[in-house]
Amino acid sequence: MSYSILIIDDEKNVRVALGNLLKDYGYKIFLAERLVEAEKILLTEEISLIMLDLFLNQEDGLKWLKKMSSMKKYYPTTIIISGNVNPETLEKAMEIGVVGVLKKPFASEEVINIIREALEKRSSKINILSSSGVKRNNEDITL
C-alpha cells in the first residue's frame, strides 16, 4: 500500500527536507506552507498522514486541526512537528487525535520511525473499522 503524506510547515527548508527524505522511502508527498493550501489538498487528495507545524506564521495549527478533525468523519493520522511544544498544548493535541510529536531539530531515522509507527496505528484502526462493518470514507463496507 502506498501512503501519502501532507507536510504543513511555514519553513521552506523543513518542508523540502522532509519531503525529499520521505520520497526516498516511497511515500507520495504533498507540501503546504499555509493552512488554506493544506485544506485544498485535503479536499482533492486522499492523505494518509499529516505532519503539522503547530506554530505557523500568524496561523494556529492546533485550532485548525481541531476544526478540520470535527468536519470529517475519517481524518488523516496526524503528527506534530515543532521546535517548542508545551505540555498543555501537547495534551490538547492528543485529545484531538494527534498520535505523535516530532521535535525540531530531528534526525532522519527519528522521522522515519515515528511515521512508520503512526501509519501502523492507522492501518490497525482501519482494519478494526472494516471488520466491524462501519462506514469508511463514506462507503459501506461489505463483510
10: CATH: 3.40.50.2300
- 52 assigned to some structural domain: yes
Cα dihedral across residues 39, 27, 9, 72: positive or negative: positive
Tally the domains of the chain: 1
Tell me how far CA of residue 62 lies from CA of 38, 59, 118, 133, in angstroms: 14, 9, 18, 31
The cell numbers describing 103, all together, are: 521535535
pLDDT reported for residue 74: 62
What is the CB neighbour count within 10 angstroms for residue 142?
6
pLDDT reported for residue 124: 56
Q: Checking DSSP bridges between strand 4-8 and strand 28-32, what pairing results, if any?
A: parallel
pLDDT reported for residue 121: 78
Domain membership of residue 34 as a residue range: 4-132
As a whole number of angstroms, the distance between CA 78 and CA 52 comes to 7
The cell numbers describing 56, all together, are: 505557523
pLDDT reported for residue 62: 87
- 106 assigned to some structural domain: yes
- 140 assigned to some structural domain: no
- pLDDT tens for the chain, 143 residues long, are 589 999 999 999 999 999 999 999 999 999 999 999 999 999 899 999 999 998 888 888 888 888 887 776 567 889 999 888 788 888 888 888 899 899 888 999 999 999 999 998 766 554 433 334 444 444 443 33
* Cis omega (within 30 of 0) for bond into 105: yes
Contact between residue 65 and residue 96 where contact means Cβ atoms under 8 Å apart? yes
Using DSSP's 3-state secondary structure scheme, residue 83 falls into coil
- 74 assigned to some structural domain: yes
pLDDT reported for residue 137: 42
- 111 assigned to some structural domain: yes
Q: pTM for this structure? A: 0.81
pLDDT reported for residue 72: 65
- 142 assigned to some structural domain: no
Cα Rg of the chain, angstroms: 15
- 137 assigned to some structural domain: no
